[in-house]
Chain A
Amino acid sequence: MTGSTFREGLTECGSRLPKISAKRCAVLKLASVSNLLLVLCLWSPSVLAEEPPVVGPPPAPDAAPQPVPTAVPGPAAVPEAPPAAVPEAPVQPTEPPSATMPEAIPVGTPTLPVLLSQLPGTYPPAALAEGKEASVLLELDVGETGIVLGARVIEPAGDGFDEAAVQAARGFVFQPARDAMGAPTQARIQYRYRFSVARAAPPSIEGRVTDRGTNSPFPGLDVRVVGADGSVAYTVTDADGHFVISGLPVGAWTVIVSPPGHVVVTAPVDVKADVVAQLTLTAEPTEEIAADRVVTVTAERTSPELTERILSQEEVRFLPGTGGDVVKAVQNLPGVARAPLGVGQLIIRGTAPEDSAYFLDGASIPIVFHFSGLSTILNGDFIAEVSYLPGNYGARYGRALGGLVDLRTSDVLPEKSGGYVSLDFFQGTAWVEQKVGKDTVLEFSLRRSWIDTVLSPVLSSSNATFRAPRYWDAQARVFHRTRSGGAFDALVLFSDDRFSVVGSADQGVAIGLTTTFGKLRARWLQPLTNDWRNELTLIGGPENQAFAFDGDPEAAYERRFGFGLREELVQPVSPTRAIGWRIGADLQGGQDSFLYNVVAFSPYESDATWLFAPALYAEPTFRLGPVSLTPGLRGDAKVYDFGAAYAAVDPRLSARIVAGSTTVVKASVGRYSQFPTTRQVSPGGDGNPDLVPEWSLQSSLGLVQQLPLGFSLEATAFYNRLYELVVGREDRFKFFTGPPPVGPFDTEGYANAGTGRVCGTELLLRMNADKTFGLLSATFSSSVRYGRDGEQSLFENDQPFVINALASQELPKRWRIGVRGRVSAGDPYTPVVNRVYDMQSRSFFPVYGETDSARLPATWSVDVRVDKEWKFKKWSLTTYLDLQNAFNVQNPEVMSWSYDYSEETPISGLPIIPALGVRGEL
């Protein structure tokens, strides 16, 4: 910029503020960036109060500053004014200099506002989608306290940029201007705000504000977001009530809206790194009893996990077929095969359920579903989000060949105490949430299924009593937000599942299965300096699975008294930091004991052994413009007290490229190890201590494309190789993990003699509009194994295609309807081509044909759900009918044969289930 331009700017500034103490006008040139211009004017508060600022004509084109390269990767709107602005020309003071001027500023010299903090602005979504860039020249009134009192557009850009710039500027915090006496004073400055697509920050919060009664949106409504440290960001809703706020630092924030004629709505939000929190705020008219509460909290993580799909409680609460269970809804996502017989297995990317891992806030838990998958073992109201990672996850997770599910509890304090009681076809639930002071909340939940009381009499016969599956679980939690911004969280969880068939009175339990466990999980979250945050999680407690057989209540069992510890330090990538870190230690240990004394399945096995499994991991993230690279390294070990020791080192790398304004390309490759189970290596279990860890080499390439009308499309191709798979007698014990296996069994000892290959494509089309939620997921895959002799076979749940379509529509008068359709290929099986009659046992045993040469028919089902809510003064009542398998389709799901193997008699899935529920909530 030339000197003449400076003078011109000075002149214009003065000319534009003739009524505002024109003598205090100044033109500033940034100290080290000659092509940036900051024009500031000081004015008298009294004058300002009397006369509103006057917006003059825009500066001449050649006076407009040029963009400044910034060292900050990824921010949304890059303000052209750096935090420290030094006046180039002295301001004409009207008062004497002060002796309390800021450092480096000569006493007696008036100073202009210095930008102390700012939040990256929110890019106008439509403009971002179209790749438009712009700069907006603003005029800001900075008050004596440094906050922005007013912001006006001097040089508009249109396309929503003007409004976005104004809203972003409202959140600026300045060191206030000082007069010649050093006293804080108000000032008016010009500020050029530039929007750059390449540096568009990811949204932190997306939401919508509607009237609770009419569900109509509030357009043009001010939305204020306040951080724990007092930081404030602003935006306004669009014509449809939507709003977006980008670039918020990690931490606790509160969204505040005050629609006219309605009560103020506040919503606490825990902003996480690379996570989009989604809110639906509904406001009650002031004439009604206040019910200002958050209805929805959802989040979608975008990094560092490459293919992470998150479902929220609110997203799935009304989806048919899930019973409102957020974890069950995961079964609708790409990469998950249909579990036979509706059990709660998660068959992820062509791997067995036991090859996937389940976590609660990063701490391992043995199961996530009660028997038959009716419900998650943890009340969904404890769960803020369910993270489903089908593969290629970061170094934070390990010990699994397949995917994983991490249940994440809420870190947000509720607005008020509350509770509910719900009753449905399957279970009864009581929930209480009690605030203690403003920083602590106590939560309790108790659930008990009662489907056994209905089914048991029906299924029992004259010669056997059937005790249908029943479960109960209980949780208690205390969550405390500390003054330092951290949190302490303790959760106690108990779960008990059992069912049995009892023969005649003197026979006892003919067959039965019991699964119980209790866990104490404590977590401490603490933000540290420089955006580091520390998370320490401890978990411990007993697990027990017992198999009753032929009158022996513990003919077989597996027990563990386990503990786990995860210590993790995270420094996320931020608009001001191009490198982020995740460093942690993940320890597990305990005592495993097992007994197998079921002659029909195996020889006698029994052992008890201590084990210790430490792991260390580190995972930096480098953000280079539109490219983010996340290499990771995880080292795992496992040691038994009988001397066996195992180790694995797993390097991983993922990359994310922001290609344009609406497209993200993702790629990843990594090694994932899984140690043999205790029984596989234990001498007491006839195991093989010389086994080595199984491992997989996972690779994937994905594309995320934002589409118009609220649609988004995600496509992922993956190719995984499996190595050192343990083969052997394990097949015989699948009764602990699912339906008993069929087909030829490998009855030889354990050996790392198997390999495998899984490849496929996953598609996810998602739509989240005003009152409609839709999801279409499709998985096309192939999963193959190579056994001990090198013979190829299909994975037992290999399903070449799985397609799920879900839609939920909100209707007037608090009605809601949803439909889910599912189509999937049947599982493969090995046909029986003949049989041999064993004279001693008087039973037939099968002669199998070619391995996996047959496949069950494709399955399909439709679920329908209708919800209706009634609002009363102090409580609400919700009822729903979840019609599962509405067409009562008899899908063959597990192959079985007649006693003499002369006929195939496949076992069908669940029939039509009209699950009716009611929920009363305070």
Chain B
Amino acid sequence: MSRISGLTAIIVTSVLTGCGGANEDTLVDELRVMAVVSDPPEVAPATTTTITATVADPLGVEPDVMLWTCTNLGDGCLEAADPAQGTVIGRPVEGQLSTVVTAPAALAGVVSDGVTVLPVLLWTLACAPGVCPAIDLAAAQPAVGSAESETLAEFLADPITGAEELPLTDVSLALSQVRVSMRAAPLQNPVIVPPTDALVVGVGESVEFTIGVEFEGVTAAYGYTTNGGFSSAEYEVVDGEVKMTWFGSDVAGTADLWVVVNGEDGGSAVWHTTGSVE
């Protein structure tokens, strides 16, 4: 058996592209769903949680956003019975769209042991107006059993396959989850304590700032911006604090910045602010 590794070149490439300066992965230069936070992140069946989608729109396409859940117990999405009712469509206000979702009561039998945690998939699709037929279809509220409803149900059940038909630009499809359990101590979201000072960085320079994180457990922080970039795609939160470095680009102006904090086992928080490159 041949066992020659060609991994060398891959690693050479990754090392070369990861050297110093701003990490290009942290620059947001197109439509992107930045975070989807469910509060609380873990709920009991038939109880509600507030879902908030945070969307970056640096190109100003003013997207429509559709959120929907898919509870799959082996026979496809429970929500497919009336797909139009299972979706929430809206246009973000100040980059956010919120809705309240009720965890399916049908899950009670599955999680009644107080130990089992069942994830319910939470999909978010952000599209420039008119780009995504599924959003238009859902907005039309097709009658249950109609061909349009079947088409919509098909997309909502398998949006990955559906995305094959969508354009690569002006579209952002994101996957997150809401946890359903009857645990006595359900998972909680981290809490971000932002810096008190406004973020300002010189052109082509960097600035380091610290945010606080209140959370019981291991967390990681991720920084994103529309101008320049962060020094790393991921930061480790240590002792409730994380130091992050923002590199300004060579172009002065304002910048949107997002910091997302994820718990290792789930739960998340997002902080959005506006900084400036001077």
Residues of A bordering B, CB below 8 Å: 339-341, 343-346, 353-354, 356-358, 366-373, 459-464, 466, 468-469, 499, 501, 511, 513, 515, 545, 677, 735-740, 833-840, 842, 847-849, 894, 896, 899-902, 907
Q: Assuming the A-B contacts A461-B19, A736-B3, A834-B171, are A371 and B8 also in contact, with contact meaning beta carbons closer than 8 angstroms in the complex?
A: yes
Contact B7 A513, beta carbon cutoff 8 Å: yes
Per a CB cutoff under 8 Å, which of A677, A738, A842 touches B4?
A738
Q: Assuming the A-B contacts A837-B174, A842-B262, are A343 and B30 also in contact, with contact meaning beta carbons closer than 8 angstroms in the complex?
A: no
Interface set, chain B 141-189, CB cutoff 8 A to A: 159-160, 163-164, 166, 168-169, 171-177
Q: Assuming the A-B contacts A343-B4, A840-B176, A899-B25, are A847 and B15 also in contact, with contact meaning beta carbons closer than 8 angstroms in the complex?
A: no
27 A-B pairs, CB-CB below 8 angstroms?
Answer: A343-B6, A358-B2, A366-B3, A367-B4, A369-B4, A371-B4, A461-B15, A461-B18, A462-B19, A499-B8, A501-B11, A501-B15, A513-B5, A737-B5, A739-B6, A739-B7, A739-B10, A740-B10, A834-B173, A835-B173, A836-B160, A837-B173, A840-B176, A847-B160, A847-B163, A902-B169, A907-B13
Interface set, chain B 89-111, CB cutoff 8 A to A: none
> Any chain A CB within 8 A of the CB of B80?
no
Contact A833 B168, beta carbon cutoff 8 Å: yes
Contact A459 B16, beta carbon cutoff 8 Å: yes
In the complex, which residues of chain B have a beta carbon less than 8 angstroms from the beta carbon of A837? 32-33, 172-175
In the complex, which residues of chain A have a beta carbon less than 8 angstroms from the beta carbon of B225? none
Closest 7 CB pairs of A and B: A353-B2, A839-B176, A739-B6, A461-B19, A343-B6, A834-B163, A837-B174
Contact A836 B163, beta carbon cutoff 8 Å: yes
Contact A738 B168, beta carbon cutoff 8 Å: no
In the complex, which residues of chain A have a beta carbon less than 8 angstroms from the beta carbon of B177? 840
Contact A343 B160, beta carbon cutoff 8 Å: no
Closest to B168 in A: A834
Per a CB cutoff under 8 Å, which of B7, B163, B262 touches A740?
B7
Closest to B26 in A: A899
Q: Tell me the complex Cα distance, A14–B172, Å.
A: 109
In the complex, which residues of chain A have a beta carbon less than 8 angstroms from the beta carbon of B168? 833-835, 901-902
Given contact pairs A341-B6, A835-B173, A839-B36, enumerate 4 new A-B contacts (beta carbons under 8 Å): A501-B11, A836-B160, A839-B268, A840-B262
Closest to A739 in B: B6
> Any chain A CB within 8 A of the CB of B260?
yes
Q: Tell me the complex Cα distance, A368–B2, Å.
A: 8
In the complex, which residues of chain B have a beta carbon less than 8 angstroms from the beta carbon of A907? 9-10, 13
Closest to B177 in A: A840
Contact A469 B4, beta carbon cutoff 8 Å: no
Contact A461 B11, beta carbon cutoff 8 Å: no
Q: How far is the CB of A325 from chain B (nearest CB, A)?
A: 14
Q: How far is the CB of B15 from chain A (nearest CB, A)?
A: 5
Q: How far is the CB of A591 from chain B (nearest CB, A)?
A: 16
Q: How far is the CB of A348 from chain B (nearest CB, A)?
A: 10
Q: Assuming the A-B contacts A836-B163, A838-B175, are A346 and B19 also in contact, with contact meaning beta carbons closer than 8 angstroms in the complex?
A: no
Contact A345 B166, beta carbon cutoff 8 Å: no
Closest to A461 in B: B19
In the complex, which residues of chain B have a beta carbon less than 8 angstroms from the beta carbon of A501? 11, 15
Per a CB cutoff under 8 Å, which of B7, B15, B19 touches A735?
B7
Q: How far is the CB of A598 from chain B (nearest CB, A)?
A: 13
Q: Tell me the complex Cα distance, A835–B163, Å.
A: 8
Q: Tell me the complex Cα distance, A344–B3, Å.
A: 9
Q: How far is the CB of B165 from chain A (nearest CB, A)?
A: 8
In the complex, which residues of chain A have a beta carbon less than 8 angstroms from the beta carbon of B172? 837
Contact A345 B33, beta carbon cutoff 8 Å: no
Contact A840 B266, beta carbon cutoff 8 Å: yes
Q: Assuming the A-B contacts A344-B4, A736-B5, are A833 and B173 also in contact, with contact meaning beta carbons closer than 8 angstroms in the complex?
A: no
In the complex, which residues of chain A have a beta carbon less than 8 angstroms from the beta carbon of B266? 840
> Any chain A CB within 8 A of the CB of B234?
yes
Q: Tell me the complex Cα distance, A501–B16, Å.
A: 12
Per a CB cutoff under 8 Å, which of B5, B7, B11 touches A466?
B11
Q: Assuming the A-B contacts A466-B12, A513-B7, are A839 and B2 also in contact, with contact meaning beta carbons closer than 8 angstroms in the complex?
A: no
> Any chain A CB within 8 A of the CB of B35?
yes
Q: Tell me the complex Cα distance, A339–B6, Å.
A: 9
Q: How far is the CB of B21 from chain A (nearest CB, A)?
A: 10
Q: How far is the CB of A511 from chain B (nearest CB, A)?
A: 6
Q: Tell me the complex Cα distance, A328–B200, Å.
A: 57
Closest to B234 in A: A842
Q: Tell me the complex Cα distance, A343–B168, Å.
A: 33
In the complex, which residues of chain A have a beta carbon less than 8 angstroms from the beta carbon of B5? 343, 371, 513, 515, 735-738
Q: Assuming the A-B contacts A837-B32, A847-B160, are A739 and B9 also in contact, with contact meaning beta carbons closer than 8 angstroms in the complex?
A: yes
Per a CB cutoff under 8 Å, which of A460, A738, A838 touches B6?
A738
In the complex, which residues of chain A have a beta carbon less than 8 angstroms from the beta carbon of B164? 833-834, 847-849
Q: How far is the CB of A159 from chain B (nearest CB, A)?
A: 50
Give B234-274 as 1s and 0s: 1 = Cβ < 8 Å from A's Cβ atoms. Answer: 10000000000000000000000000101000101000000
In the complex, which residues of chain A have a beta carbon less than 8 angstroms from the beta carbon of B74? none
Closest to B173 in A: A836
Contact B7 A345, beta carbon cutoff 8 Å: no
Q: Tell me the complex Cα distance, A907–B13, Å.
A: 8
Q: Assuming the A-B contacts A837-B172, A839-B268, A842-B262, are A545 and B3 also in contact, with contact meaning beta carbons closer than 8 angstroms in the complex?
A: yes
In the complex, which residues of chain A have a beta carbon less than 8 angstroms from the beta carbon of B4? 343-345, 353, 367, 369-373, 737-738
Q: How far is the CB of B63 from chain A (nearest CB, A)?
A: 14
Closest to A346 in B: B2
In the complex, which residues of chain A have a beta carbon less than 8 angstroms from the beta carbon of B169? 902
Q: How far is the CB of A550 from chain B (nearest CB, A)?
A: 14
Counting chain B CB atoms within 10 Å of each CB, the highest count among A740, A836, A902 belongs to A836
Contact A366 B1, beta carbon cutoff 8 Å: yes
Q: Tell me the complex Cα distance, A835–B5, Å.
A: 28
> Any chain A CB within 8 A of the CB of B222?
yes
In the complex, which residues of chain A have a beta carbon less than 8 angstroms from the beta carbon of B33? 837
Contact A341 B15, beta carbon cutoff 8 Å: no
Counting chain A CB atoms within 10 Å of each CB, the highest count among B4, B24, B173 belongs to B4
Contact A842 B260, beta carbon cutoff 8 Å: yes
Q: Tell me the complex Cα distance, A834–B131, Å.
A: 14
Interface set, chain B 216-235, CB cutoff 8 A to A: 222, 233-234
Contact B12 A459, beta carbon cutoff 8 Å: yes
Q: Tell me the complex Cα distance, A491–B72, Å.
A: 61
> Any chain A CB within 8 A of the CB of B20?
yes
Contact B8 A372, beta carbon cutoff 8 Å: yes
In the complex, which residues of chain A have a beta carbon less than 8 angstroms from the beta carbon of B19? 461-463
In the complex, which residues of chain B have a beta carbon less than 8 angstroms from the beta carbon of A462? 19-20
Q: Tell me the complex Cα distance, A750–B4, Å.
A: 23
Contact A836 B174, beta carbon cutoff 8 Å: yes
Q: Assuming the A-B contacts A740-B10, A834-B166, A836-B163, are A345 and B2 also in contact, with contact meaning beta carbons closer than 8 angstroms in the complex?
A: yes
Contact A677 B1, beta carbon cutoff 8 Å: yes
Contact B2 A737, beta carbon cutoff 8 Å: yes
Contact A842 B12, beta carbon cutoff 8 Å: no
Counting chain A CB atoms within 10 Å of each CB, the highest count among B3, B30, B171, B173 belongs to B3
Q: How far is the CB of B113 from chain A (nearest CB, A)?
A: 24
Q: How far is the CB of B97 from chain A (nearest CB, A)?
A: 15
In the complex, which residues of chain B have a beta carbon less than 8 angstroms from the beta carbon of A838? 174-176
Closest to A347 in B: B2
In the complex, which residues of chain B have a beta carbon less than 8 angstroms from the beta carbon of A368? 2
In the complex, which residues of chain A have a beta carbon less than 8 angstroms from the beta carbon of B25? 899-900
Closest to A455 in B: B12
Closest to B221 in A: A842
Contact B3 A341, beta carbon cutoff 8 Å: no
Contact A839 B174, beta carbon cutoff 8 Å: yes
Q: Tell me the complex Cα distance, A569–B160, Å.
A: 60
Q: Tell me the complex Cα distance, A459–B13, Å.
A: 9
Give B24-42 as 1s and 0s: 1 = Cβ < 8 Å from A's Cβ atoms. Answer: 1100001011011000000
Q: Tell me the complex Cα distance, A362–B12, Å.
A: 36
In the complex, which residues of chain B have a beta carbon less than 8 angstroms from the beta carbon of A736? 3, 5
Q: Tell me the complex Cα distance, A353–B20, Å.
A: 37
Q: Tell me the complex Cα distance, A737–B177, Å.
A: 36
Q: Tell me the complex Cα distance, A359–B255, Å.
A: 62
Q: Tell me the complex Cα distance, A833–B173, Å.
A: 13
In the complex, which residues of chain A have a beta carbon less than 8 angstroms from the beta carbon of B159? 836
Contact A345 B6, beta carbon cutoff 8 Å: yes
